[in-house]
Structure 1
Amino acid sequence: MSRAVLLLAHGTPDVLGEMAEYLSKVTSGRPMPENVVEELKHRYAQIGLGEIPGSEPPPLTKWTLAQGHALDHELGDTSVYVAMRNWHPYIADVVDEMRRDGVTEIRAICLAPQNSRTSVGLYRKALLSAAAGLEVEFLSAWAEHPLLVQAFAERLEPAWRDACAEAGRKVPVLFTAHSVPTRTVMTGPASIEGARPGTPMQDTPDPYPEQAQKTAALVAERLGLTGHDYRFAFQSQGVSGGPWLGPTVEESLKALQQEGHPGVVIQPVGFVCDHVEVLYDIDIAFKELASGMGLKLWRAESLNDSATLTRALEDLATSATVPFEKAGA
């Protein structure tokens, strides 16, 4: 049998004109108001996405493909494929390519280290639907992998050191992860306040909030940061109805200002590469908000081409002790 590794990521449009179609994939066909589409087009334009096909790929696509190539180089005889849930190359299309190449066993790794029903769970569903007849091993989370923690720490340490030197004092660190609607992480029936009609009952709480905060705590521990030196917040809350996970970055910045801190270093630990939630939400929107509060905002470099991240993925792809879930044929 031929085994291959499949890296799964969110996906992002290639040009601004694809935004409405892309958002329909993200929302499973639920239409988005025109003002929301236009606002997101504005944000993507601010980070360099254009109107002309064939130009520079968006950062998420660029770095995800680069991560796949780096892992493919390290694995040698084991092929690595990359697929996206919400845009090209779609999961179903890549699985078809794998079939044509003679792949019969897939070891799938989501490039979202923390497991949530609204991301990893949907990747799993899409993959299993496309891969009928193939043997699939699916990794739902790797939030505490030592090499992932090391990779984040390697990016944070120089940014934090330089920020402290510039400020002339210790600067707090704010770790972040993407927020999700609270209805997706709660247990109980759909009648619970904030749940949409038809939301299925969940017997257990979603592990995502705990796993995201655990990643942050492990990175902080590696750098010797105490509970007074860092905090955690959820960023990039959406526009859909109902509450989203907090505390928000905006609330956290306000609290830091009130405590008299001169600035803050942000490190998003829920993302392994640059994309709009990093390059716009943090580098533009949060930086502008912080400046208006009299705070200096620094950001740790994203993992992107981190060699340590590649080593983490290599270990996940080859280790016999990683808890992959077996499914499929």
Structure 2
Amino acid sequence: QSSLSTGAYRRKVEEARAECGDRTDVTYVGSWNRHPRLIAALADNIRLGLLAFPSDVRATVAVLFTAHSLPERIVAMKDPYPDEVKGTVEEVTQLLSDQPIYFAYQSQGRSNEPWLGPTVESMLETIQLAGHRHVLVAPIGFLCDHVETLFDIDIELKQLAANKGMRLERIAMLNDSPPLIETLLDVLTTHESSSCIQS
């Protein structure tokens, strides 16, 4: 949830409804960043991703969680986004063993204002300085493949890692997998039930 993403979408919907004179009841799903099915699915994909590395190094592969960066001004706005991202990372981490864990924001915009950090680029250097040569990126801020995973990570970040003598892989995105479909079904069913109770 963020005023700059989900909040903006809601505002657009409400503006369109007002312009059309629409009086249909509309409700919005709240946060589900800690949903147990979502967390389990992400942890499973991380475990599968670790299998891409040789067995003798798997225990020391650094897991780099990422989420899309947003302008830093959201912190002053008390936007829930940073805490929600952190919450997802915390929940997934609890299901992993003693894997080295790191977090960074990726895909900053091109505006001149400050954006949330640390950046994936700077964090990659931190991971290297900590002695790790193998990195598994877990973009938990995204549900499906798109330019931020297929290009920003799979091409640009992977090349940056290679230039540092590091091997970087990425977990599979949830896309249209059964675990994500089941998560969405449960989220919507719960939301519908609570909406009926409130009305």
TM-score by length of 2: 0.89
Q: Does the C-alpha gap of structure 1 residues 146 and 291 become closer, same or farther in structure 2, counting only changes over 3 Å?
A: same
Give the secondary-structure state (helix, strand or coil) at the position aligned to 1:271: coil
Paired residue for 1:210, among 68, 75, 83? 83
* Number of equivalenced pairs: 194
Name structure 2 gaps, 5 residues minimum. Answer: none
Q: Which residue of 2 aligns with 1:116?
A: 2
CA RMSD in angstroms, aligned pairs only? 2.3
Q: Which residue of 1 aligns with 2:124?
A: 253
Paired residue for 1:186, among 76, 96, 112? 76
Is the CA contact 1:164–1:171 (under 8 Å) kept in the aligned structure 2?
Answer: no
Is the CA contact 1:153–1:223 (under 8 Å) kept in the aligned structure 2?
Answer: yes
**Cα shift at 1:246:** 0.3
Residues 1:154 and 2:62 are matched in the alignment: no
TM-score by length of 1: 0.55
Counterpart CA distance in 1 for 2:126 and 2:140 is 21
Counterpart CA distance in 2 for 1:253 and 1:129 is 42
Paired residue for 1:167, among 23, 33, 57? 57
Is the CA contact 1:274–1:304 (under 8 Å) kept in the aligned structure 2?
Answer: yes
1:269-313 alpha-carbon deviations (Å, 9 max, x no partner): 111000000000000000000001111001000001220111110
Q: Does the C-alpha gap of structure 1 residues 168 and 301 become closer, same or farther in structure 2, counting only changes over 3 Å?
A: closer
Counterpart CA distance in 2 for 1:212 and 1:168 is 25
Equivalent residue runs for 1:27-38 within 5 Å: none
Larger Rg: 1 or 2? Answer: 1
Q: What is the one-letter code of the residue matched to 2:30? A: S
Q: Which residue of 1 aligns with 2:183?
A: 312
Is the CA contact 1:264–1:297 (under 8 Å) kept in the aligned structure 2?
Answer: yes
* Greater fraction of residues in helix: 2
Q: Which residue of 1 aligns with 2:172?
A: 301
Q: Does the C-alpha gap of structure 1 residues 239 and 221 become closer, same or farther in structure 2, counting only changes over 3 Å?
A: same
Residues 1:125 and 2:11 are matched in the alignment: yes
Give the secondary-structure state (helix, strand or coil) at the position aligned to 2:3: coil
Identity %: 41
Q: Which has the higher contact order (CA 8 A, sep 6+)?
A: 2
Q: Does the C-alpha gap of structure 1 residues 231 and 168 become closer, same or farther in structure 2, counting only changes over 3 Å?
A: closer
* Greater fraction of residues in strand: 1
Give the secondary-structure state (helix, strand or coil) at the position aligned to 1:117: coil
Q: Does the C-alpha gap of structure 1 residues 253 and 241 become closer, same or farther in structure 2, counting only changes over 3 Å?
A: same
